[in-house]
Amino acid sequence: MPSTPHPAGSLRTPEVKQEMKRRLNRLSGQLQAIQRMVDEEAYCVDVLQQIAAVRGALKKVGARLLEAHIQHCVYQAVESGSEHERREKIDELVTVFEKSMQA
């Protein structure tokens, strides 16, 4: 999926970027573990529990990234005084919330 170009960037601080990388690496390991469980024909309920854990962890990654976006990009748009920038960021947030409610 192509990303939307934005000059300011979305991972504004090295701390947020490192946190995202750490969480995503952990998720990658969890997905590999699920693959092993399937390969080894693990009990279905155990696999389903691991899938639920991955979903929860992925939701946390999304929530943290959304928080960072609001604290940096949205805040910057509000502080800019530009009605166009404010409207653009609000429209982005509405779209993100609409998509998350469909999932």
Q: At 35, which CATH number?
A: 1.20.58.1000
Answer yes or no: are the C-beta atoms of 49 and 33 closer than 8 Å.
Answer: no
Q: Kindly report, residue by residue over 2-33, the tens digit of the pLDDT.
A: 444 444 555 668 888 899 999 999 999 999 99
The SS3 assignment for 50 reads helix
Domain span at residue 34? 14-102
- Give the pTM: 0.75
1 part of a folded domain: no
Domain count, the chain: 1
User: If you average pLDDT over residues 71-88, what whole number do you get?
Assistant: 90
Residue 8: predicted pLDDT: 52
Which amino acid would we find at residue 67?
A: E
Confidence (pLDDT) at 14? 87
Residue 88 — pLDDT band, cuts 50, 70, 90? very high
